[in-house]
Amino acid sequence: MAGVRLGEGVRLLLDGGRTPSAEDVQAVLAAAAPLLAVLEERELI
């Protein structure tokens, strides 16, 4: 299991597959930005 820290208190866990590269992590962070904005707006993080 690998994890990508998306922000304070938020981690994406990946079950199986390969360990994410630095480029993978940057792409995931960019894609997660709207989700993080909603979580912050709704005071969930």
Q: What is the pLDDT of residues 5-29, one digit of tens each?
A: 999 899 999 998 899 999 999 999 9
Q: What is the reported pLDDT for 22?
A: 96
Q: What is the reported pLDDT for 13?
A: 95
For tokens 């995931």, name the residue.
28
Name 4's Cβ contacts closer than 8 Å, sequence gap at least 6: 11, 12, 14, 20, 24, 25, 28, 29
Q: What is the reported pLDDT for 28?
A: 96
Q: What is the pTM of this model?
A: 0.80
